[in-house]
Chain A
Amino acid sequence: MATKRKATKKATQTRKRGGSPRTASHRAVAVATSPRRSVKERTAAAAQSPLAVCESEKDFQAMLKVLCDTTEPVKVRLAALQSLQAASFSVLSFEGCRGDYIATLRQVAEDHDPELRQRALGMLMREKDGFAQKKLLEGLRDPDKALLPPEKALQLLSYDVHADAYEAARAIVRKPPNETARREALRLLAADATAAPLFERLLLDKNELREIRQIAASALYALRPERMQKHARDILMDRSDYDDIKATSLTALTQLGDETLPQDAALMKSVGRFSTGKTPPKYKQTARRFLSKYGQ
């Protein structure tokens, strides 16, 4: 902890000595890219470097070189990546560097370090990068080629959903390598209109994991709202269903429900029951919100 404070203090002092934020940031790049400095000094300095990375081609290339250099400590490379990504938010200043940056991210996407791979692929997928998409799909079809675990690949594919991704997700749902991969595949399929029957089945299956039922409710809410309203009503009236799923159903009805709900005496009675009695306090508030909205 003391060393960390020392490194942060040094970085701040570097900034102060420089006078203007621009000069200080330029000096921070010099520290962040110097192999003679400690890892802590370099990572702390990298945090001060986004401005120089934006405004100086030389500083940008120096940080890019650190990111690519597999002999550099991973912590230093991760700090360089974070700094470059922060600089990328200054679009107009960064625009001239973007091509080199994307090319470097593609290189890092196949790095030996899994964390660097994951971060680079995430950044590329958020740019809807075809190279990254192809690599992730390849990895899902052939695990020997996978750059990331299937659950992470599926999550990243959700940044640019399309038919190929749905196909891969359906295959994972049919034969999941693990429960998290199944969950992420279902999240991805929640954008697929043809998956509504699957989510309907999952929502109504009391033996299903409750997290999966929550995902199914959310998916059905978007894909077939009228079916969700019907099932939410049934779940609320089913004394044997779970309180957390009832809370999700009630929250859906509060958001989704139409003006006819208050005329549904059986439903209103069920909600009234849910708002009192043995229902955990954290879920009672969902009933109170519903009753407040629908005039009870």
Chain B
Amino acid sequence: MDVELQINNSASPDARFLTWSPSPCRVRMTNPSGATGPSVTVRITGASTASGGAVVFRSGTTGAFANSLSVPVPVNGTSMPFFVAGRFGRPSAGNGDVRIEARTGTTLVGSVSVMVRIRKNANGLSTAERDRFVAAFAQLNNQGLGRFADFRNMHTNVSSPQAHGAAGFLPWHRAYLLDLERELQAVDASVALPYWRFDRAAPNLFQLDFLGVSDSLGTVRLSNSNPLQFWRTDGVQGTNRRPFFNTGSAPPGLLSEIQTLALGTQYRAFRTMEGNPHGLAHTSFGGSISSIGSAARDPLFFLLHCNVDRLWAKWQRQNGRFNAAQAASYDPGSHPIGHNLPDTMWPWNGVTGNPRPPTAPGGALAASPTASAPGPQPTVRSTLDYQGAVGATARMGFDYDDVPF
């Protein structure tokens, strides 16, 4: 007897990635030999190593999660749905380090290896996680000729009104990071974008083998084994980044996470974090990252914004702000184009010309084998329910290590 387990409703190995948000799955009989009735009860469990990820199950879109699930599987090959999620606090360390097993009695009748792929604190990445991320990022840049050039060109002075200074600041950057992350995953599927938690010391980040060590001039030095030594943007080699703080500690003056989350329970109050901590995190350095038009030349920029997005995600979870229909979840006022809930966002919508920028680099938002949202042309509204808390199909396929479902 054999069953097939489909993760994210797909038989493709590319879809075998999970987050804390439940993924829709299917199990079906592919070889009914030995079955005696119209269906067989299959017990589905997760098997992991001590340092690997862990998973939990439930039968529908609601209800409690459990460590195992019994599913009656018809012998005629009809698929039976179930849901699986990463167990909060147990992300994977590498691709395929969790196995989902199906058994009848004690007999193994099917299994697939999956990864609980979660955005983690960059300061705590393992050496292998760090190296995979750095290699994927360098390959995406490909000495300034790769797909990364689009991401650099999306975040410039010309395009900045689409993304800054109004309510859509957080939604735009969420889509931007997701697009980048999916491109990184096309290089190495095991990579999730890490975040720089800027209100805490992150000494491991500012090392030769990671994002580099700045000399007194602000020129970033990298080890000879670091692929980022070939980083190039706008035709120019390397990165300039001059910290105005000791990189063994956190930059001074920034609101802490607790202070940021306490800015207010209404989105309008929370989004003032664009100035502090976001703006001040940028200007804790001299160099590319300290100006809006050049910030995306520095890989650190993406880790900084990943933390900004994490803070928003945490605030959403803390206050239940996933539902765009509730006024507190977003700023209900009238905003410039690209900042209102129903607006599509540039550049993914491909719209050019006043009031949008003259070009739209990069095309549609990258698709993912693990989630269909937010679609190729995301709206502001589509970015809010990133976990699928309100509607399961809105799930975008990313989660943070300290923000539960």
Residues of A within 8 A of B (CB): 4, 8, 12, 15, 20-22, 25, 43-44, 46-48, 50-51, 53-54, 82-83, 85-95, 118-119, 122-123, 126-127, 151-152, 155, 158-159, 161, 180, 183-184, 187-188, 190-191, 211, 214-215, 217-219, 221-222, 225, 244-245, 247-248, 251-252, 254-255, 282-283, 285-286, 289
Report which of B166, B218, B280, B287 forms a contact with A92, defined as CB distance below 8 A: B166
- B178 interfacial by beta-carbon distance below 8 Å: no
Tell me which of A88, A92, A187 contacts B219 (CB under 8 A).
Answer: A187
Contact assessment for A44 and B237 in the assembled complex, using a CB-CB cutoff below 8 Å: no
- Contact check, B223 vs A92: say whether CB atoms are below 8 A apart: no
Q: Which among A47, A93, A184, A190 is the interface contact of B253 at CB below 8 angstroms?
A: A47
A188 CB contacts on chain B under 8 angstroms: 236
Can you sample 23 A-B contacts with CB below 8 Å? A15-B259, A21-B269, A46-B253, A47-B253, A50-B279, A54-B275, A82-B244, A82-B253, A86-B275, A86-B276, A89-B282, A90-B164, A91-B160, A91-B165, A122-B286, A127-B293, A214-B229, A218-B237, A222-B237, A254-B227, A255-B139, A283-B224, A286-B225
Say whether B286 contacts A118, CB under 8 Å.
Answer: yes
Supposing A47-B276, A82-B283, A122-B287 touch, asked if A89 and B264 sit within 8 A by C-beta, the answer is no
Least distance between B70 CB and chain A CB atoms (Å): 41
**Contacts A86-B280, A89-B282, A126-B288 given: A151-B237 contact, CB under 8 Å?**
no
Among B206-258, those with CB < 8 Å from A are 209, 217-219, 221, 223-227, 229-230, 232, 235-238, 240, 244, 252-254
Task: Say whether A91 contacts B235, CB under 8 Å.
Answer: no
Is B78 an interface residue, CB under 8 A from the partner? no
Which B residues touch A283, using CB under 8 A?
A: 224-225
B237, A92: Cβ atoms closer than 8 Å: no
Question: What residues of A have a CB within 8 angstroms of the CB of B282 in the complex?
Answer: 85-86, 89
Q: A187, B237: Cβ atoms under 8 Å? A: yes
B142 at the interface (CB under 8 A from A): yes
A94 proximity list for chain B (CB < 8 A): 165
Find out whether the CB atom of B161 lies under 8 angstroms from the CB atom of A119. Answer: no
**3 nearest A-B residue pairs (beta carbon):** A86-B279, A47-B253, A50-B275
- In the bound assembly, the distance between CA atoms of A118 and B282 in angstroms comes to 17
Contacts of A85 in B (CB 8 A): 279, 282-283, 290-291
Q: How far is A215 from B217 in the complex, measured between Cα atoms in Å?
A: 16
Chain B positions within 8 Å of A43 at CB level: 253
Inter-chain contact B276/A51, CB cutoff 8 Å: yes
Question: A25: which of B219, B275, B294 is its contact (CB, 8 Å)?
Answer: B275
- Please determine whether B230 and A252 come into contact, CB atoms closer than 8 angstroms: yes
Q: Once the chains are docked, how many angstroms separate the CA of A8 from the CA of B276? A: 14
Contact B253 A90 (CB under 8 A): no
Instruction: Judge whether B272 is part of the interface by a CB distance below 8 angstroms.
Output: yes
> When chains A and B are docked, how far (Å) is the Cα of A266 from the Cα of B209?
29
Which residues of B are found within 8 Å of A89, using beta-carbon distances?
Answer: 164-165, 274-275, 278-279, 282, 292
Instruction: Determine whether B144 belongs to the interface, using a CB cutoff of 8 Å to chain A.
Output: yes
Docked CA distance A245–B224 (Å) = 7
* From A86, A180, A244, contact of B224 by CB (8 A): A244
Contact A255 B165 (CB under 8 A): no
Q: How far is the CA of A190 from the CA of B232 in the complex (A)?
A: 10
Is B143 in the interface zone, CB < 8 Å from A? yes
Which B137-193 residues have C-beta < 8 A from chain A? 138-139, 142-144, 157, 160-161, 164-166, 169
Q: How many CB-defined contacts (below 8 Å) exist between A and B?
A: 179
Complex alpha-carbon distance, A85 and B253, angstroms:
14
A90 touches B286 (CB 8 A): no
Known interface pairs A21-B263, A126-B294, A191-B235; 20 further A-B residue pairs with C-beta atoms within 8 A, sorted by A's residue number: A20-B264, A50-B276, A50-B279, A53-B275, A86-B283, A91-B164, A92-B166, A95-B165, A122-B290, A155-B217, A155-B219, A158-B240, A190-B237, A211-B221, A222-B143, A222-B144, A251-B225, A282-B225, A283-B224, A283-B225
Report B-chain residues with C-beta under 8 Å of the C-beta of A151.
217
Shortest distance in angstroms between B285's beta carbon and chain A's nearest beta carbon? 10
Asked if A184 contacts B219 (CB within 8 A), the reply is: yes
List of B residues within 8 angstroms of A244 by Cβ: 224
B135 at interface (Cβ–Cβ under 8 A)? yes
B275 touches A255 (CB 8 A): no
B291 touches A251 (CB 8 A): no
> B391 near A: Cβ within 8 Å?
no
B199 interfacial contact with A, CB 8 Å: no
- Cα distance, A191 to B291, chains bound together (Å): 21
Q: Contacting B165 at CB < 8 Å: which of A86, A90, A248?
A: A90
Neighbouring B residues of A95 by C-beta, 8 Å:
161, 165
Of chain A, the residue at the smallest CB distance from B228 is A251
> Within the complex, what minimum Cβ distance (angstroms) separates B267 from chain A?
12
Q: In the complex, which of the residues A48, A91, A219 contacts B161, with contact meaning CB atoms closer than 8 Å?
A: A91
From A20, which residue of chain B is reached at the shortest CB distance?
A: B269
In the assembly, what is the distance between CA of A215 and CA of B144, in Å?
A: 15
Given A12-B259, A255-B230 in contact, is the A51-B135 Cβ separation under 8 Å? no
Which residues of chain A are within 8 angstroms of B165 by Cβ–Cβ distance? 54, 89-95
Closest to A254 in B: B227
Task: State whether B252 touches A47 (Cβ < 8 A).
Answer: yes
A54 CB contacts on chain B under 8 angstroms: 165, 275
Also in contact, A127 and B291, with CB within 8 A (given A91-B161, A191-B235, A289-B135): yes
